[in-house]
Amino acid sequence: MSSAMYERMRVNPKFQELVATRGRFAWTLTTIVLVLFYGFVLTVAFNPSALGKPISEGSMLTIGVAVELFLFICFWALSALYVKRANGEFDALTQEVIKQAQKEGK
């Protein structure tokens, strides 16, 4: 692609919408992950006894292990959510921007 085509793509309002939407979504997911992860790390640092308690009487599974398993599943789910949206909405917008830039170049 030529630099003129890239310029047509950059000024396209749909491209601006794509960049803004994808950026907001990525920052939202990033914030969720950081809050969950560092919340867990801070709990380990400042209140480790809370995580060492068993889930129920006589259980070998502790609250800390259960929380970490939840976080692991949550992080995978957030990744899957991003991939689903990127492969659907974001790819569709990208294709529209490219098609419009190619039409304008002819």
In a domain, residue 43? The reply is: yes
pLDDT band at residue 9, thresholds of 50, 70 and 90?
confident
Share of the chain above pLDDT 70, in %: 98
- Residues near 90 by beta carbon (within 8 Å), at least 6 away in sequence: 18, 21, 22
Mean of all residue pLDDT scores within the chain: 92
In a domain, residue 17? The reply is: no
In a domain, residue 50? The reply is: yes
- Residues near 24 by beta carbon (within 8 Å), at least 6 away in sequence: none
Q: Quick check: 21 pLDDT over 90?
A: yes
Alpha-carbon distance of 55 to 34, in angstroms, equals 25
Looking up tokens 């000024």 gives 11
In a domain, residue 16? The reply is: no
pLDDT tens by residue, 35-56: 999 999 999 999 999 999 999 9
> How long a stretch of residues is the chain?
106
In a domain, residue 10? The reply is: no
What is the CB neighbour count within 10 angstroms for residue 85?
15
**Alpha-carbon distances of 49 from 19, 39, 88, rounded to whole Å:** 44, 15, 44
Domain count, the chain: 1
In a domain, residue 60? The reply is: yes
In a domain, residue 46? The reply is: yes
Please give the pLDDT value at position 11: 87
Alpha-carbon distance of 66 to 47, in angstroms, equals 16
State the residue range of the domain holding 40.
Answer: 23-105
In a domain, residue 11? The reply is: no
